[in-house]
Amino acid sequence: MGKKIRIETRRTYLVGMAEYGGKCRHMVNGLVDCKMCAHNYNCLKCSFDQMVADEIVTRSAAQPTLPEAVGF
């Protein structure tokens, strides 16, 4: 037989997030100073989550990384 795939249910996810005391995942990760989750950790419906994701994409596109040139 093949490998068993573990599927995490929404309830299991919410139980795991309970340790963060209602903090938004972006607050937990240090991207914002203060933001409490108002969507019960349903990031797909959260406009704030979309805004943060868009900002990350915009910043990475605006500041390309260039290799350092040495010599001469």
What DSSP letter does each residue of 52-70 carry, written as one string? HHHHHHHHHHHS---PPP-
The pLDDT of residue 39 is 80
- Which residues make Cβ contacts (< 8 Å) with residue 32, sequence separation at least 6? 24, 26, 52
pLDDT tens sequence across 37-48: 888 778 888 898
Cβ atoms of residues 35 and 48 within 8 Å: yes
- Sorted by where each begins, the domain ranges of the chain are 10-62
pLDDT tens sequence across 15-56: 666 677 878 888 888 888 888 888 877 888 889 889 888 887
- 23 SS3 class: strand
